[in-house]
Structure 1
Amino acid sequence: MAARRATRWHIAVFLAPAVLVYTAVMILPLFGTLNLSLYRAEGFVGLANFRTLFGDPHWSEQFWNALRNNVWFFIIHMLVQNPIGILLAALLSSPRLRLAAFYRTAIFIPTILSFVIVGFVWKLILSPIWGIAPSMLQAVGLKFLFQPFLGQEETALTTLALISVWQFVGIPMMLIYAALLSIPDEVLEAAEMDGITGWSRFWKVQLPLILPAIGIISILTFVGNFNAFDLIYVAQGALAGPNFATDILGTFLYRTFFGFQLQLGDPNMGAAIATAMFLIILAGVCVYLFAIQTRLRRYQF
């Protein structure tokens, strides 16, 4: 008779603290929010809050405006931040590059800065009254390009998205850099023996091998952008001006749940907005897991 396998109690012991903390700060609040979205002051109302959110013109107009802005915020990160991060990682992984460690550190430092610092500093830089941006552009003969970027509806959201790109481009850079370093030297040497060198080696050999890492970065970007709040709030306030041009789901949720100025907070409608955000993020993650990740070829070294 085969010996009975020993129960590995130590696994449960080591996992228990993380599971308890995660349950306390994530799972229970999530179910609490879902429950709160089904109630009003008079009691249980089922999906009435969602019917109000999507059917009432006052609420639906704000929600769809915030969602459109959020989608644009995400697109800029996908089209600007991640490609630049991949390019920087490819450059920094070159053995011929000197001071690579210094460049990595300099690019990554903004990611550890506070949103308050970043938002306040960039407001000072771009201010048409006391900012240094007009003077810098004037010094190179490009003063005519300056505009009050944060004060115009057409440019405010894009400007904030690019500021966010500047702050967080170091994250995809470091993740892709780590993925590039994990490629065995034998693979690169074989490519070099076949005459594939330089950028051709990156496009034909390295890039296909790091596609799973790029997929992970993409879904992290999606989740992070649809949870964004801090930078918009610091730079434009809870009203996400001008004229709600920078309003995203995070600021819309904040104003609704906690109230702002003379507007009273409505925790039930705020919970409904939070639930809608959760479902949007959940749908995006599921699309990635079941439609994209399964198609990405993984290489075992």
Structure 2
Amino acid sequence: MECCLHGPLGKRKPKFGGAEELRRHPERRARGSRSSPALHWQTRSFTGKARFSLPVSQGGLPVKTPTVVFDLDGTLVDTAPDLVASLNHTIAALDLQPVGYNDLSYLVGHGAKTMIERACKLGGYDLEEKDMPPLMERFIDFYGKTMPGDSKPYPGLVAALDRLRAEGFALAVCTNKMEALAVTLLQKLRLDHYFATIVGGDTFPVRKPDGQHILGTIDKAGGDATRAIMVGDSINDILAARNAAVPSIAVPFGYSDVEIASLSPNHIIQHYEELTPELVTRLLATR
């Protein structure tokens, strides 16, 4: 058995030999000198192997690595089939006509409560406050029991997450979906282990488009808002990023009810193969 400080147990390595040792090995003086700049790059590894470099301050503490924050529905995962099924199951209790996929851009993005309210509005039902608790319970029960159903990660997502994580980026989720539902969905899709934190619309007192929702997510992930970026598909994501003073990357394959380019994100990717550590680093450098 080896000890990292003293070699084999019981055989303590000799200490550094003071002035005489320095005279015979002057290169060791330079190695211990304090002439290094205030910030330099030093290789770190979570596995003990040199895989990527993190900035290290003069005091020896690593500067926080970049954080990439993702929306969930319409960004990480195509949840449309199961959201529609769960919503139609819910409003069937009111004898309303089912909603369709074409309605999703209007319905999704503000949480389950708003989704139910809007579905009732589409069906011409005058929803009263007393109606909401049993409808929410019906939705959550059905959705929770049937997920992941037909929900799937978007093409190229897993490879993109692997690329970012391999370079030391912290990953997080910031969604207006209820936290418990978001965590369960990602667990069942076996994606939860990628993320330092999964924050829902009920985690904090605020939610997107409030910038504090993103800032709170970054903080829970152990990140720094000056070294973070938001990836999303809707106006709530882009506005929240703007309100948090965080650069945004938009995806056009989600549920936005407006042209994604009209929201003026910092960058648009058409496919997850375009989401690379180099792109994130470049966007952060323009701040």
TM-score range, shorter chain: under 0.3
More helix by share: 1
Normalised to the residue count of structure 2, the TM-score between the two structures is 0.22
Greater relative contact order (Cα 8 A, min sep 6): structure 1 or 2?
Answer: 1
